[in-house]
Amino acid sequence: MQRNIQFTSSVMAVGATVRGIDLNQPLTTDTHDALYDLWLQHGVLVFADTPATNDQHLALSAVFGESEQHPFPEILCPEEPLLIELGGRNRGTAFLYNGNELRLGRLPWHRDTGYVPEVCKGAMLRMLSIPDEGGETGYADTEKAYNHLPEGLKRRIENLEAKVSLRLGPFTQQRPGAFWTTVRYPTPEECPYPQQPHAHSNAVHERYPTVVHPVVMRHPETGNPNIYLSPTYVDEFLGLSHRESEYLLSELTGYMLDPSVIYIHQWKPNQLVVWDNRRMLHAAYGYDPKYSRRGLRTTMKESLCSGRYYESLAADFKPATLIAD
């Protein structure tokens, strides 16, 4: 029996592109199921030529998971609290990266809500204002990265756990997974554009105490393993020395951010991108502050309860083997 599917798709090296979705029409059950299956298969979907209102954005996102409010109230969209606002009124502060890259909105590679015990299922983003250049979003497939690991490295990290802390701002994110080796505030001559500093107080950190997550996680629906890290949030690996932890973090990040497992999305009008946060890392490449950029994004429920607060070792904790094979 032929299925009633209302779209076509094309597979990319990482992710897939979806065309033909008309959000003015209700989606058939076959379309709903096929989209979900395609998402689980590829981790990230790009909806091309798909104009959307806020309500339509929320409805399409619901195909992949029910929306919930993001844990950061500072970035909730005032018109619709189930959406967060990126850029726009939350323009923030520009920084000078690597000595010559003036950028707003740059974020390192991370997994959303990876700093709490329950990591969100996924997210869907659309752009309302796109800079003339820059502003890309990168997606890294940590399942593909895991498949590239040597067998010896897979064995070393099989039962390993990572201690994780939220880090805010580029000065504390100079870790593997960042886009920069140096960062500083620009001078008024370097950045003559108005800036709005974010007031991230100690209270924000107190809301999110240190947690522990496994380094390898099997996807709850596909069963496929991935490297389950947000690199710039990792403090150390339990059972390893600081030196061993730093070496291993750099090694794993190299696999997670190999170009063969990365898709860099160049934004165009009328696009939505949805990604599986249990599998994919993402990053914001930033843009020149002379431009404007505003995006709206959902955050999906059905969290993956993979972590615990860092108060004591788990009852079944097993120290990791040494770094050397």
How confident is the model over 113-153, as pLDDT tens digits?
Answer: 898 888 999 999 999 999 999 999 999 999 999 999 999 99
Distances (CA, A) of 12 to 20, 106, 120, 254, 311: 17, 25, 25, 21, 42
DSSP helix, strand, coil percent of the chain (3-state; round to 5) = 20, 30, 50
Q: What's the confidence (pLDDT) of residue 325?
A: 34
Q: Which residue has the higher pLDDT, 73 or 226?
A: 226
SS3 state at 296: strand
- The domain segmentation of the chain, as residue ranges, is 8-309
For the domain 8-309, what is the CATH superfamily, name and number?
Clavaminate synthase-like (3.60.130.10)
Q: Radius of gyration of the chain from Cα atoms?
A: 20
321 pLDDT band (50/70/90 cuts)? very low
d(CA 115, CA 219): 18
**Burial (CB count <10 Å: 0-12, 13-18, 19+), residue 141:** buried
Phi, psi (deg, nearest 5) at residue 156: -65, -30
Taken as a whole, the chain contains a residue count of 325
**Beta strand pairing call for 272-276 and 16-19:** unpaired
Q: Which residue has the higher pLDDT, 318 or 310?
A: 310
Q: What is the pLDDT of residues 38-85, one digit of tens each?
A: 999 999 999 999 999 999 999 999 999 999 887 777 788 878 889 988
d(CA 89, CA 97): 23
d(CA 91, CA 110): 20
Q: Is the whole-model pTM more than 0.85?
A: yes
Structure tokens, 43:
């981790």
Structure tokens, 231:
């690199």
Q: What's the confidence (pLDDT) of residue 11?
A: 97
200 pLDDT band (50/70/90 cuts)? low
d(CA 99, CA 180): 9
d(CA 285, CA 212): 27
Q: Please report the DSSP string for 248-267 in residue order.
A: HHHHHHHHHT-GGGEEEE--
Phi, psi (deg, nearest 5) at residue 220: -65, -20
